[in-house]
Amino acid sequence: MPWKKAARVVLHRMGGLEALRIRHRRDFGVLMFHSFQEQDRANVESICSRITRHFSPVSLSEIVEAMEGGPALPDHALAVTVDDGYRNFLLHGHPIFRRYRIPVTLYAVAGFAGGRLWLWPDQIEFGVQHAERAGIRAEFPGGEVMELPLRTPSERAAAQLRLTERLKEIPNQQRLDFVARFGELCGIEIPRDPPAGREAMSWGELRAVAAEGVEIGCHTETHPILSRISSPAELSRETRGAKELMEEKLGLEVRHFCYPNGRPEDIGEAAAESVRAAGFATATVCSWGFNTLATERLQIRRIPFTSDTDLDYGEELLAGLHM
């Protein structure tokens, strides 16, 4: 629409974004990335260039120090976080952030890093994309049935989204059971190890980037939706247990936690208390927004980015639009 183009001209060429950035200069933002693709390296370079031009990159540890009464954060403070611990961060993200001297916190899934599992949403994607059937019939507890056609790429994409979102809503053990038999449902065998592009960073690779300044955080043991876990012992394994395992493997303190999926309905009071009891200094969520030094340290909001985020849209996000 013409009015949208005119508004973007005002924002990007006539100082509108700078006015918005000034409004939020005392707040701090936290970017949320997940994976990085080789073809997006030039875009990540541009994102980093704009970050260093308009913001003051800081680490989560610096934010904690400021929250505890230590050195104040600079104006326009911005931290970068990366979820999951995919190896493509090592290949296509870390070298660029390091070159621009932008601190990063990488949240690893302990079981993924240890080679004992690969992330369940990726298994759903693999099954749907490689299914040798024209459709699947997915049954859920309570008699719910999804009839999912898989005849075209768009139908497969829609089926993947519907399944993934529905699996986030059911009890954790039921999700585990569904994923375990999903290959049979699709008429294929889900491989033990993830396919190319979905591999995890190993413990050794995590230690190596930590030695270069990356803060390693915890993203649970198996990446469940924590609010769907009813057992206190299981919650403790996914929080305290994952933290202790990572500290043993990495030889360093793991201070920062990230809630899988990270919406309020994905966390719940029991999981939040488990994270607090585990002794984490911070925890990040997936609710969009900026933060202040008064923000609850275990409920730090973030701003979503991808390696191919449109640069104009990204600048608008960082200025406080689209929240």
Per-residue pLDDT tens over the stretch 168-225:
999 999 999 999 999 999 999 999 999 999 999 999 999 999 999 999 999 999 999 9
Q: Which domain holds residue 141?
A: 121-186
- Regarding whether 170 and 107 lie in a shared domain, the answer is no
Reply yes or no on whether the pLDDT at 147 is more than 90. yes
* Number of compact structural domains in the chain: 2
- Regarding whether 294 and 172 lie in a shared domain, the answer is no
pLDDT score recorded for residue 1: 54
**Mean pLDDT across the stretch 92-97?**
98
pLDDT score recorded for residue 6: 56
- Compute CA 241 distance to the chain's CA centroid, rounded to the nearest angstrom: 20
- Regarding whether 152 and 58 lie in a shared domain, the answer is no
- Domain membership of residue 6 (yes or no) is no
CA separation for the pair 48, 99 (Å, rounded) = 9
3-state SS of the chain: helix, strand, coil percent to 5? Answer: 50, 15, 35
Per the model's pLDDT, the better-predicted residue between 279 and 141 turns out to be: 279
Reply yes or no on whether the pLDDT at 100 is more than 60. yes
CA-based torsion, 125, 126, 128, 130: positive or negative: positive
- Domain membership of residue 264 (yes or no) is yes
Q: In the chain, what percentage of residues exceed pLDDT 90?
A: 90
- Regarding whether 209 and 283 lie in a shared domain, the answer is yes
What pTM value is reported for the model? 0.94
Calculate the average pLDDT of the chain: 94
Residue-level length of the chain = 323
Q: Quick one: which H or E segment has residue 235?
A: helix 232-236
Q: Are strands 135-139 and 215-218 parallel, antiparallel or unpaired?
A: unpaired
- Regarding whether 27 and 52 lie in a shared domain, the answer is yes
- Regarding whether 221 and 309 lie in a shared domain, the answer is yes
pLDDT band at 323 (very low <50, low <70, confident <90, very high): confident
- Regarding whether 70 and 166 lie in a shared domain, the answer is no
- Regarding whether 250 and 132 lie in a shared domain, the answer is no
DSSP-derived 3-state class of residue 120: helix
- Regarding whether 132 and 105 lie in a shared domain, the answer is no
Q: What is the CATH number of the domain that holds 103?
A: 3.20.20.370
- Domain membership of residue 304 (yes or no) is yes
The model's pLDDT over 197-210, given as tens digits with 9 standing for 90+, comes to: 999 999 999 999 99
- Regarding whether 228 and 150 lie in a shared domain, the answer is no
**Mean pLDDT across the stretch 284-289?**
95
- Domain membership of residue 10 (yes or no) is no
Last residue of a domain, one of 186, 216, 241: 186
pLDDT band at 4 (very low <50, low <70, confident <90, very high): low
pLDDT score recorded for residue 15: 63
CA separation for the pair 284, 315 (Å, rounded) = 21
Rounded alpha-carbon distances, angstroms, from residue 159 to 152, 170, 218, 284, 299: 11, 17, 30, 29, 32
pLDDT score recorded for residue 18: 86
Smallest CA-to-CA distance from 280 within 39, 119, 88, 60 is with 60
